[in-house]
A and B are shown apart, each in its own frame.
Chain A
């Protein structure tokens, strides 16, 4: 026996029940779905019928329901508690949105059935475009990208297409300026499109130094800047207009990573700041569920300069009817099959309609207030490198200076939070501060929940100084720390029958 209190007959305790793989519960003869045997007669498979079994296990419905219920109980979700993952905006996911997305008129329609039979769906897409356009102050909206990083790809392809349209003069524009604090997807996206990534160092205030930026932009060959604003250091880039002017003067475009749009939604329009393209993570700001890692949705808003290059399909109105435009001479191409993440559009629109212009303004206000509150209540025990660079936006950034000489790391604090019933914050990101802890409470937490978080975090800092065994946490989660080295060194990526 190892661990603590695991002294039951079964090894399980209370609601913490071990659950084998479905393959280990195979019960040949059991059925989870009652389909009849088909009477085909001669098949038309041209000799390509499967010759042997697929190898899938057989389980009856009660076993299946219990299996996934037990698995779900090993997960932490927003429904469970505070989920302060910085730059991920884990806010409440209203169930109304789920109900709306499941209306047969939205869920049970085919992307290629006659356009005359899906006018409501096309109108809904247009309505989502209208909300996003008004909220961002940007005229063009491409709906199709399937996630945030996919939106980045879309935005940067539009920039490349616009530069290419400028002819030979732009052929050498290959440099994309990216701050060190950026999400990894920014440099990965730029590199994937053949751009050369030039990193912009952080200036000591958690921001881009405008003079340094102007110098870099002045070196020529600039295609674009990719800037997150509010940035991942948790502050607003107050020189954003100078940065926008500098990149435009250099002949490049301004791509804004919209991951942190929640901090400014309803109060600031990126279009007023000189942005040319920005993706919007509907699963962040507009609360479509993260679902354990997707599906996401990453519409991109464009300035007048870039809107003509947006990908197909586009929704156009003709003779009072909406239709899908599948070809357009200036469109740079296509992002994925069909017309975008419709199921996510329904959820996001339900969310936007529920909040309205007034509610969305309160969203950003409360999100920012909550983050500042946490920052002020914790900065005396956890060091906050940019606490005096101006008000925090919707997240509070700490480094690990306060943990120095305790033997406890950022990771240990994160794992100790698990034992306290919290999901950890984002750790070791952004890369510009040592042992980063990026805390984003969002606007959907109560004051009591924030105060509980503060009390726990202060307590953990104390315990770290007192030499508590945090380096071994968690003790009370479904699993202790997992051996990631073994997983990578000897990858076992699937179940296989023994023998």
Chain B
């Protein structure tokens, strides 16, 4: 077997050194009847070519986004990834390294995490960011729990336009941790009144920007209303490229930003792995979940980086930790930071503008059926019939038209709504094809 270098001769000599008659004898502490005498009932080992062939066959049964016009969003976006990003993250010293607990030989990881945290702060307009979380949904759930800790309250007011997977991830934790999540009904055209739902028990208000339906709005007044009652404002962003064009949540008074960073540097991967971004205010830094990388000096006085404030974390605090989280999305955060470094100020602004321009051009073609007044690169269209059926039909014609709202809000009476995302990977001919198909 090509990955296993111990030879038969090695094995005999090593067993002799160990003083065991056989490898099986090393398992003598296992209850005898639980020790399998034979390999389990699964295929035997296979060569690289065979594995490649079999997996390629499975891959071929999926319709890749690049095969034709493609308009899905709703929390996972198809953006172009520069070739150098994928090359660099596959360098073995990044790919096969561990969490940087030995900083002297992990400065590569630590320095990019420091740069990553700085970039996340700039994008979101926040003061402090962590080294990433599993995904946007878990970041949002952690944001609610952090708000509960900060305010010592236990009720979150949640916008009905928060991605339902994010809502459900938080609601699952709420069920087991005994806090309350008050989620409103979806409001496709926006205009929810959240301020009136905040009271003295509210730990935070959770909104999405742009929201599930693509709406964007200024949350400054909501932030003030929340703060007046001692609650925090949590802003969730599922399309981080939007912040290249839009006012950042930090400028609107957000206390915590929980975001999905997949859009920059990472493929859609059928929904995972993605990249949770988490940013907050300095005053709440010690209540943050997840890993934090900080600057310091070494014994020779040279600048260096370490994981810091670990006294919040499970490996030190055990049952008193701020969160049970033990990992981040290391390699995804590396892809993010490399792509954003390549983009730079100008590249990001242009990329965001291209996304918005594409969406505007499709919206102009679709006319009054678009229900989203203001948007970035995604909006909601009202169809004449069932959106899921239309999507299925158009898939047969080679067009992936978007995400039917019923997929995320089944039984909510929103079956005629379709979420349509237009990124820079959508061309003018794709836009024409969808506009034609929906006319």
Contacting residues of chain B (336-360) with chain A, CB-CB under 8 angstroms: 338, 340-351, 353-354, 356-357, 359-360
* Per-position 1/0 for B55-67, Cβ under 8 A of A: 1111111111110
Contacting residues of chain B (155-174) with chain A, CB-CB under 8 angstroms: 163, 165-166, 168-169, 171-172
Residues of B contacting A269 in the complex (Cβ-Cβ under 8 angstroms): 34, 36, 40
A365→B342 contact, CB < 8 A = no
CA of A448 to CA of B10, assembled, Å: 10
B131 close to A (CB within 8 Å)? yes
Q: How far is the CB of B357 from chain A (nearest CB, A)?
A: 4
B292→A493 contact, CB < 8 A = yes
Q: How far is the CB of B70 from chain A (nearest CB, A)?
A: 8
Q: How far is the CB of B313 from chain A (nearest CB, A)?
A: 8
Given contacts A294-B327, A334-B172, contact A56 B298 (CB under 8 A): no
B434 close to A (CB within 8 Å)? no
Q: Report, as a range, how many residues of chain A touch the other chain.
A: 35 or more
B341→A22 contact, CB < 8 A = yes
Query: Which of A46-54, A213-221, A248-256 is found at the contact surface with chain B?
Result: A46-54
Residues of B contacting A492 in the complex (Cβ-Cβ under 8 angstroms): 294-296
Picked from A190, A235, A335, the residue with its CB within 8 Å of the CB of B172 is A335
A38→B357 contact, CB < 8 A = yes
B29→A114 contact, CB < 8 A = no
Q: Which of A43, A264, A493 has the most CB of B within 10 A?
A: A493
Chain B residue nearest to A334 in the complex (CB): B168
A107→B269 contact, CB < 8 A = yes
CA of A480 to CA of B245, assembled, Å: 42
Q: Report, as a range, how many residues of chain B touch the other chain.
A: 35 or more
Contacting residues of chain A (452-499) with chain B, CB-CB under 8 angstroms: 472, 474, 477-484, 486-488, 491-496
Residues of B contacting A337 in the complex (Cβ-Cβ under 8 angstroms): 75, 135-137, 163, 165-166, 169, 260, 271, 274
Query: Which of A147-155, A165-173, A300-308, A400-408 is found at the contact surface with chain B?
Result: A147-155
A111→B327 contact, CB < 8 A = no
Q: How far is the CB of A81 from chain B (nearest CB, A)?
A: 10
Picked from A88, A340, A369, the residue with its CB within 8 Å of the CB of B23 is A369
A399 close to B (CB within 8 Å)? no
A78 close to B (CB within 8 Å)? yes
Q: How far is the CB of B380 from chain A (nearest CB, A)?
A: 13
CA of A120 to CA of B58, assembled, Å: 5
A193→B177 contact, CB < 8 A = yes
Residues of A contacting B412 in the complex (Cβ-Cβ under 8 angstroms): none
Query: Can you list 26 A-B contacts (CB < 8 A)?
Result: A32-B342, A37-B353, A48-B374, A68-B112, A72-B94, A75-B109, A76-B102, A80-B96, A103-B56, A104-B66, A111-B272, A116-B395, A124-B58, A153-B324, A240-B31, A266-B39, A291-B97, A341-B273, A354-B2, A354-B45, A356-B45, A358-B39, A358-B45, A366-B11, A491-B285, A493-B293
The 6 A-B pairs of least Cβ separation, nearest first, read A338-B271, A105-B59, A333-B172, A120-B61, A111-B271, A46-B374
